[in-house]
Amino acid sequence: MYRAVIEDLRRWKQSANRKPLILQGARQVGKTYILKEFGRLEYAQTVHVSFDRDEKARQFFNEGGSAERLIRLLSAHTETDIKPTDTLIILDEIQECPAALEALKYFQEETPQYHIVVAGSLLGISLHGNASFPVGKVDMMRMF
């Protein structure tokens, strides 16, 4: 199914100033579907991690460390050789892992060559008052 948001995602991918992308939207509007479809259409491979079901991935982010370390752990965990421009990294249900939301700042600062998108509801993301929101370090897109 074609959705206009794919064109917005393509523009994000091509942007010279691309930052990790937060795709916001209400539950059940198709955020996960559209990100997987975007990955299928635009990248050689896609890594999808859903924090509501993947305790090990939550543990990686909760333990912290450099962005490169997190990329290596995700690569091993998903058994995928994550390559900067060939792999779309989807971090889904990010509201379930506040540490992953904070890590977006470090992905932007330390590893801007990686293409990282996250999905979650704005309400769920904003409820984590103890998490540091990466203001200015992410791009944001809203899906209706």
3-state secondary structure of 25: coil
- C-alpha 121/C-alpha 23 separation (Å) is 8
Confidence of residue 95 (pLDDT cuts 50, 70, 90): confident
User: What is the pTM (predicted TM-score) of this model?
Assistant: 0.90
Residues 43-76 have pLDDT tens digits of 999 999 999 999 999 999 999 999 999 999 999 9
3-state helix/strand/coil string of 27-85: CCCCHHHHHHHHHHHHCCEEEEEECCCCHHHHHHHHHCCCHHHHHHHHHHHHCCCCCCC
Strand ranges across the sheet with 87-92: 45-50, 87-92, 115-120, 21-24, 139-142
Per-residue pLDDT at 128 exceeds 80: no
The per-residue pLDDT for 127 is 47
The per-residue pLDDT for 2 is 58
